Structures are given as C-alpha cells and as structure tokens.
Structure 1
Amino acid sequence: MTTPLIVDTDPGIDDAFALALAAHSPEVDLIGVTTVFGNVSLEHTTRNALGLLAALGRPDVPVAAGAARPLVHPQPHVSRAHGDDGLSGLAHTLPVGTADPRDAVTLLRDLLLAAERPVTIVPIGPLTNIALLLAAHPGLKEKIDRLVVMGGGLAGGNITAAAEFNLWSDPEAARRVLVDEDVPVTLVPMDLTQRCAVTAQWLDLLSASSPTGALLTSFTPAYLATYRRFLGWDGMVLHDAVAVAEAIRPGLLTTARHPVEVDCAHGPGRGALIADRRLEAQGGIDVAVDTDLDGLRAFLLERLGH
C-alpha cells in the first residue's frame, strides 16, 4: 500500500533531485507539491516545480504557490548557490506548466481532507507554508502521518556560522512547526546530509544512467561551482533528497529523540537549531543522526537513474 506524499519545496537543484526521487518511487503516491520562497523567489520556485514535474512525466501532480516571504521579518537575501533561476540558469529549458489556482495552504488542506490514509509531508524549504497550515487548520493534524523536514544544523550552519539556510529563512515559522506543534516530526539536519554528499564520479554515473539522470545532472554546474569555491571539493550535497529518501523508506535514517529550540532573536544566532543532546528525551522530535552512507547513495542512484 503506497503512502500519500506531499512535497513542500523551493527548487533549487537539490530540490530537483528530491522531486525526481518522489516521482520515481513506487512506495509513495506523490499527490501534490507546494512551493515557497527560499533558494530563489516564489515565481521561480513555482515555475521550476511545474517544469520539473512535466519533464519527469508527472504533469498530473498539482502544484500550488505558497508564501512569497517569511511570516514576520523579511528574508535578508536568497541563496546564490543554485544560480539566479534556481537551476544553474537552465530553468528556461524545462516545459512550461500551469499552477493550481489554489494557494499552497488551500491545496494542502484539500489534499489532507481527501486522503483516505494519513499523509506524509516533506518540507524541504523554509517552513512558512507548513506553519500557516497548522495555524489555520489545527484540526487537520490528525491527517498528517508525519513531517519529514530538511533543515537545521546541530553543530552550526551554512548560511551563517550558527544557522542552516531553511531555518534561517523563516525562524518564526520553523519554531512554530518544530517546537510549538505536536505533529510527529523527523528532522533531517545538514550534519547528516553533508555526510551523504556525492562525488563528481557519482554524478557522472547518474548522468549516463538514464534521461532523468542526464536531466538532473545538467542542472548542477552552479551548485558544483559553489562547492568547489568554498570547500575545494569536487562534489555536492543532495540535502533535500536525503529527507525524501527517509519519507519513502521510513527508518532509512537512524534517529535520536531530542527537545529542540529555534533561535528567533536578532543576533548572530538567529535561525540556529538548538537541540538538547544531553540525553534522549521522551519529548521533542526525532532528529536524523546516521545512516548507511553507501547504501543511501546506491538507493538514490538506482531510483534517480530510472
């Protein structure tokens, strides 16, 4: 029996890999995609999601545009790691799709109400849409099986010394979802996703494996250039695909349960994830801390190569 799945996303190059993984996995039924500002503007993320799904053979999946800005304070700037259009300047090569007339929160509500089984939602961008959904429709929480969230860093960040990009982009929304709500959450932080990084050789294998693999790797030049420039390393991190992999195969990632906080102050720690790791607690959320790295890479290559 397949698991109904919704991806909330800000494509983004690693988001493109994540969407392909969701679209090509028989264990899940991708019933909807919602878009949010983040790596690039909402206009770009929505266009990218529509084009990617059409190119992946899934134009049937409804795509609804969501929040164009954070809940409270403006996002200081967007990421440039993905190029100006989110896909290394190649978004214009994708088919043009038409967004669902509903906004993201309305589509999320409608899909949850119509679902016969609890739905897994995978937010892989800023958490604004999910915070708005939970605030506006608290009665729908029982329809959510769990949230598999890509975000945060236990040992520091990537956009600042303290904060990972998704949480930093809307700390107030992140705190609402990760701290204040009682929906089951599996948080996939960058500490683990960075360990799951793939090499240029892995990308070459993917490119040669199938048209989908060639399509995905065609979008990677800006991302690869960023990793070469800042880390001196020929490879990249597929942050968001790791979260989708866990949604497809629950338990693929090893988790520990910790209480967490999100720093919403306007200091150098804004957007930081603070996890109490002194002992595993009964409260809190499940935080992914480990996996079979080679096994995960092999799973991604097998699914994305078809």
Structure 2
Amino acid sequence: MKKKILLFADVGIDDIAALIYANLSEDIQLVGVVADYGNVPRERAIQTANYLLTFVPEGKKFPIIGGAEIPMTAKEPTFYPEIHGEYGMGPIIPDVLVDKYENFFEIVTIIKKFGKDLTIVSIGRLTSLATMYVLYPDLMGTVKDTYVMGGAFWVPGNVTAVSEANFYSDPVAARVVMNYGENVTIIPLNVTDYAIVTPQMVDYIDSKGLTELFKPMLDYYYVFYKERNPDIQGSPVHDAITLMAPLYEDMFTFKELPVFVGTTEGRVDQGQSITDIRPYIKFENNAKKHRIAFGFDYKKFYNRFMTVMTGETFE
C-alpha cells in the first residue's frame, strides 16, 4: 500500500528534488503539499508548486495549501536566491504564474480523512507545522507519525556554526514541534549532509528522460556548494532523503533522546538543536524523546534514489 504523505515544504531545489522523487515513486501518495515561505517567499512557493503540478499525471495530483508567510519570531524572513534561484528552481522561471491554492485549514480536512494512515513530512521551516500543534494538538495526535528535516546535533550547522536552516529560521516553531510533537523522527544534517548526488548521477538521471527539471536545478545547486566547499563531490539532497525515510528506515541508525532548541535571537546558537548523548545520563521518565537519525547507509540511499529517478534497478 502506498505511503500517504502530507508534505510541508518551502520550495527550494532540494524540496523539488523530493517532489520529483515522489512523483516518480510507486510507493508514495502525496495527499497535499503545504507551500511555505523559506527559500523563496510564500507567493513564489505557491506559484512554483502550481507550475510543478503541471508535470504530475492526473492520478497523482495533490492539493496545494497556502502555508506560513513569516516565522513565529515575527522577524522578516531571509530568502536564498543565490542557492535556490528566484522561484526555488535554480535557473528555471515558470512561464505562467498561477496563484491557486487551498485554505490553510484544508490541513484539518486531510488529517481527519486519513488519520492513522497519514504520515507528515516537514522539509522546510516549521512555522505551519507548529501552528497545527498550537491550534489542533488533539487532532495532531491522530497522525501516524511525523518526519522532520532539521537540526544539527554536535555537527556543523549550515547557517551558523551550530544551527541548521529550518531550525534557525524559526526556532520558536521548532521548539513547539519538539515540545508537543508525538512520534517525531528527526532527519538532521548529521545524515542529510551525506545524501550526495554527484554530477555523474545527475547526468545519468537526465539521460533517462523521466524528468526535464532535475539537471538544470541540480547543476545550479552544485555551483553554490562547490564554491562554498571545493572538496564536495556533489549536492546534498536534504529533503529527498527525508521524504524517503518513512519508506526506508533501514537506511538509518537512530537514538531516542530529548531535544532542546535554542531560541535566543541574534546569537550563534539561535536555532541550535541540542541533546545529551552522554551514555551514562539517565533521563526522567516523563522526558519527551524523539527519534534522531545519527547514522546513514549511503549505498542504500544511492540504490533506492537512482532506481526511482531512472526507472532502472540499482543494487
């Protein structure tokens, strides 16, 4: 049976890589995409989501839901066209801009419809997801499980020395999700930084002709990463691997630990995700714990990602 997924996304290149993967996968049914601010403003995220929907066959189309425009910190968000392009698709500009989307509260309808069969995957800022916990905590408790791309646990961040972008950009929302979320699995930079797609992989995927968007976006993405780190061998697809996680949990090794998110504005540790990994620490029985991915099997990722993206079998 297909995994029913409600996706919260901020529409950047790695988010779109995840959407392309979902479109090509026979194991995923996207029941909705919440388009948030993040890599680009919400308006452009919605326009890009509508553009992407034109590539989705009729039987796999999904509602686009208008998400958050600003973070819970009430600060103006920062956007990243130098990384993701003006519309989150690198050099690609939609030829027609469509603003069609569903009301935010369509999320309630979707959760009530699918309930315990529904998996939430959050691959962007956590503002919209946190809003659901603030408004509908009991309803959120009916969801089967939630996967969050975010955090960096005792490894370098990608915005500050210690903070990952999704947690940093709205640390208040991240803390709400950590404090109130149930059955949450966190897929942090500890593993997503290693979900590398090389230029050779991109070229091979492109040669199979299943998607025309992937190569121009990933080539654009790689330029940024290569300039920042000349030793990097490809582009990390943080969001695609997070979308794959509910299907292939054997790709990871996990620990269940409490999570604290720093919310002090303007400090290097804004948005830092903290947990205590000392083996001798005994947590209180009522301490809320989340499952955190600390280890990653690249070969399994490579085989499964390439199998879906090319239509060939990789082993």
- TM-score in terms of structure 1 length: 0.92
1:219 shift after superposition: 1.6
Q: How many residues align?
A: 301
Give matches, 1:97-246, under 5 Å: 97=98, 99-103=100-104, 106-115=105-114, 117-154=116-153, 155-178=155-178, 180-212=179-211, 214-232=212-230, 233-246=232-245
Q: What are the superposed Cα offsets for residues 15-40 of structure 1, whole Å, 9 maximum, x if unpaired? A: 01111222232223211110111011
CA RMSD in angstroms comes to: 1.9
Could you say which residue in structure 2 is the equivalent of 1:7? Answer: 7
How far residue 57 of structure 1 moved from its aligned partner, in angstroms, is 2.6
CA 1:296–1:272 in 2, change beyond 3 Å: closer, same or farther?
A: same
Equivalent residue for 2:273?
A: 273
> Which stretch has the larger CA shift, 31-40 or 253-262?
253-262
Q: What amino acid sits opposite 1:227 in the alignment?
A: Y
Counterpart of 2:246?
Answer: 247
1:285 aligned onto 2:283: no
Worse overlay, 148-157 or 276-285: 276-285
1:242 Cα deviation from its structure 2 partner: 0.7
Cα distance, 1:183 vs structure 2? 1.3
- In 2, the alpha carbon distance for the partners of 1:295 and 1:224 equals 22
User: In structure 2, what is the Cα distance between the partners aligned to 1:116 and 1:77?
Assistant: 34
Shift of 1:251: 3.7
**2:308 counterpart (290, 303, 306):** 303
Tell me which residue corresponds to 1:52. 52
Is the contact between residue 169 and residue 271 of structure 2 (CA under 8 Å) also seen in structure 1?
A: yes
Q: 1:76 to 1:29 in 2, by over 3 A?
A: closer
Structure 1: 5+ residue stretches without partners: none
- On the 8 A contact 2:46/2:99 being kept in 1, the answer is no
Q: Distance in 2 between matches of 1:110 and 1:166?
A: 26
Query: In 1, are the aligned partners of 2:40 and 2:79 still within 8 Å (CA)?
Result: yes
**Retained in 1: the 8 A contact 2:17–2:214?**
yes
Structure 2 unaligned residues grouped into runs of 5+: none
- Tell me if structure 1 keeps the 8 A contact 2:147–2:187: yes
Cα distance between partner residues in 1 of 2:20 and 2:92: 17
Q: State TM-score, norm by structure 2.
A: 0.89
